Amino acid sequence: MNNFTEENFSSDGVSLKKKLRRSLFKSKMRAFFLVLPLLAFLAIFFVIPIINLLSQSFLDFRYATLMPGSTQALKDWDGKSFPTEEIAKAMVIDLIQAKKNKTIGKVATRVNRELSGTRSLFTKTARAANKMEAPYMEALIKKDKKWENLKTWQAIKISSMAVTPSYLLAAVDRKYTAEGEIIQQDENRRIHVTLFLRTIEISVIVTLATLLLGYPVAFLMASLPLRTSNLLLILVLLPFWTSLLVRTTAWIAMLQSSGVVNDLLVFLGVTADDARFSLIYNKTGTLIAMTHILLPFMILPIYSVMKTISPSFVMAAKSMGATNWTAFWRVYFPMTIPGVGAGAILVFILAIGYYITPALVGGQDGQMISNIIDFHMRSSLNWNLAAALGLVLLIFILFFFWLYDRFVGIDNMKLG
């Protein structure tokens, strides 16, 4: 007879414990294999491409591969003393080669990013390089005085580093010197920190504005009977389902100087016909349009939390002598915090990476960090800097994504 300390065996003689473990493992594998195709798909077409780009923020092999001789020679240079004749010789040989391979433009662009004005120096010197004779340093300086400048050589040394902190530092308006120090970027090139701050400012304002507008609406919908609130919900969901471009276009029609809002204000006598407000193609336009576009993302989570709060809590508070305000602020509001948190983090995350609306209605002072990333990707073609800015933005977003997951939970995300 079996007693309790012994293991139980099934009819085929395998211990039940082992069988259970085996079957659990099987269902684990089955669940995992169902997710695997999508995981592989996302890895290949989403994660790896993005990592590939972001790695460009600290990797730049361009100078090192195109100008191997001078890269090698500059490695041993301390960055303070004047470069040796050996370095100058390697430079001239590299320039001749680069000119022949027609890669001098790429090299010049790379160095120019470290020190502006060096592009022409490189192209000009390369044209004359095959006629140069020893001593090479003198020949270089004879061609252009800039070769005498220590700053030029320092910029070249930094460009020759394959693993470079330059771009990431440039993304936060710092720069790396040949002596290995990190200093502030020149005054006229300090634009990114301002832009990051403005992006955060716009996102915070939009988050607060959507909260201010969304909370009462969610409260109203939660207090109405379900049939009515479902109808009102459609009014919230319609903008949610309407194309972003349509909504942005609508705001152009509303806010432009001859638009509906200004017409109405002139008609009401708020402003004179020749003193219409400029509400669009600036920060105001970006703020209004983004608040409108992101408002449903605030209302929906708050509403779904408020729906579950029983009205008897507030009634109980009032029956015990609380005023309306106390009952709301001390009893009702704390219970809606999870919804407010979910909505606020979601709106903030979406706002901080916004591109289209600022691009279309932002004008000059309504541009955000995404717009400059796109500018460097498509116009200036400085992909390394775009990657660096993207990496900084991404770190920021991932922090808030982590917060969202901690306090709300990814699985609680709902749509409509």
Which residues, numbered 356-395, are part of the site for another protein (CB under 8 A)?
356, 360, 370, 373-374, 377-378, 383, 386-387, 390, 393-394
Query: Residue for token digits 């909504």?
Result: 247
Q: How far is the CB of 194 from another protein (least distance, A)?
A: 18
- Cβ proximity to another protein: between 70 and 256 the closer is 256
Interface pick for another protein out of 20, 21, 46, 75 (rule CB under 8 A): 46
Site for another protein in 278-317 (CB under 8 A): 292, 295-296
For residues 206 to 235, the per-residue mask of contacts with another protein, x marking binding by CB under 8 A and - elsewhere, is -------xx-xx--x----xxx--x-x-xx
Q: Helix, strand, or coil here: 113? A: helix
How many CA atoms within 13 Å lie on the side-chain side of 412? 17
How many other β-carbons are positioned within 10 Å of the β-carbon of residue 56? 18
- Cβ proximity to another protein: between 132 and 236 the closer is 236
Q: How far is the CB of 277 from another protein (least distance, A)?
A: 14
**CA distance linking residue 354 with residue 290, whole number of Å:** 9
Segments of 218-283 assigned E as strands? none
Q: How far is the CB of 111 from another protein (least distance, A)?
A: 22
Site for another protein in 319-348 (CB under 8 A): 324
Q: How far is the CB of 121 from another protein (least distance, A)?
A: 29
Q: Is 30 in the site for another protein (CB under 8 A)?
A: yes
**CA distance linking residue 298 with residue 211, whole number of Å:** 7
- Cis, peptide link before residue 135, omega less than 30° from 0: yes
Q: How far is the CB of 86 from another protein (least distance, A)?
A: 37
Query: Residue for token digits 């796109």?
Result: 374
**CA distance linking residue 365 with residue 82, whole number of Å:** 44
Q: Is 62 in the site for another protein (CB under 8 A)?
A: no
Contacts 24+ apart (CB under 8 A), 73-82: 74/153, 74/156, 74/157, 74/160, 75/160, 77/153, 77/157, 79/153, 79/154, 79/157, 79/177, 79/178, 79/179, 79/180, 80/150, 80/178, 80/179, 82/150
- Cβ proximity to another protein: between 178 and 209 the closer is 209
- Cβ proximity to another protein: between 9 and 375 the closer is 375
Q: How far is the CB of 398 from another protein (least distance, A)?
A: 8
- Cβ proximity to another protein: between 76 and 411 the closer is 411
Length of the chain (residues): 416
**Residue 335 in tokens:** 């219970």
Site for another protein in 254-273 (CB under 8 A): 254, 256, 258-260, 263
CA 382-363-209 angle, 5° bins: 110
- Cβ proximity to another protein: between 182 and 270 the closer is 270
- Cβ proximity to another protein: between 141 and 356 the closer is 356
Site for another protein in 392-411 (CB under 8 A): 393-394, 397, 401, 405, 410-411
Whether residue 188 contacts residue 194, with contact meaning beta carbons closer than 8 Å, is answered with no
Site for another protein in 238-257 (CB under 8 A): 238-239, 241-254, 256
Interface pick for another protein out of 128, 169, 205, 237 (rule CB under 8 A): 237
